[in-house]
Amino acid sequence: MGSTDGGPFRRMLRKLTSDVETLDADDLSEDSERSGAQRASDCACGQEVTVLGRLRSVEFCPQDADASLEAELFDGTEGVTLVWMGRRRIPGIEPGRTMRVRGRISVRDGHKVLYNPYYEICQAQ
């Protein structure tokens, strides 16, 4: 009958005393786990992954002649940079949007990156 997180009173107390960012990260992490996606913090370089999260930022990066669109996806555990090469804009890719992405994890400057990931924009819940 008991829960692994200390029961309803403890959960309610935690919600009352935690900051909004922590609660949002917990909710994202739970949604990701329920959907069957991997946790970004568990993904390793070279691994084929599916990650569910929310876009924190989106920016167009004109680097020399090659343009790219970069976005940071946060799943509640860690951020993953999404890079679409040769794209200036993708309709629906905007901050605050929840997405499921799939691709092979790389590491650039110490951060996890998915280049040209397959993506699915999720409906607001």
- Answer whether residue 2 is part of any domain: no
Into how many domains does the chain fold? 1
Q: Residue 50: exposed, middle, or buried by beta-carbon count in 10 A (0-12, 13-18, 19+)?
A: middle
- Answer whether residue 66 is part of any domain: yes
Backbone angles phi, psi at 91, to 5 degrees: -55, 135
- Answer whether residue 21 is part of any domain: yes
- Looking at this protein, which amino acid is placed at residue 51? V
Question: What confidence tens digit (pLDDT) does each residue in 7-34 have?
Answer: 776 655 555 555 555 555 556 656 666 6
* C-alpha to C-alpha distances, 94 to 8, 10, 59, 76, nearest whole angstrom: 36, 36, 9, 18
- Answer whether residue 50 is part of any domain: yes
Range of the domain at 67: 7-121
| pLDDT recorded at residue 111 | 92
- Answer whether residue 1 is part of any domain: no
Tell me the mean pLDDT in the region 98-121: 94
Query: What CATH number does residue 105 fall under?
Result: 2.40.50.140
- Answer whether residue 47 is part of any domain: yes
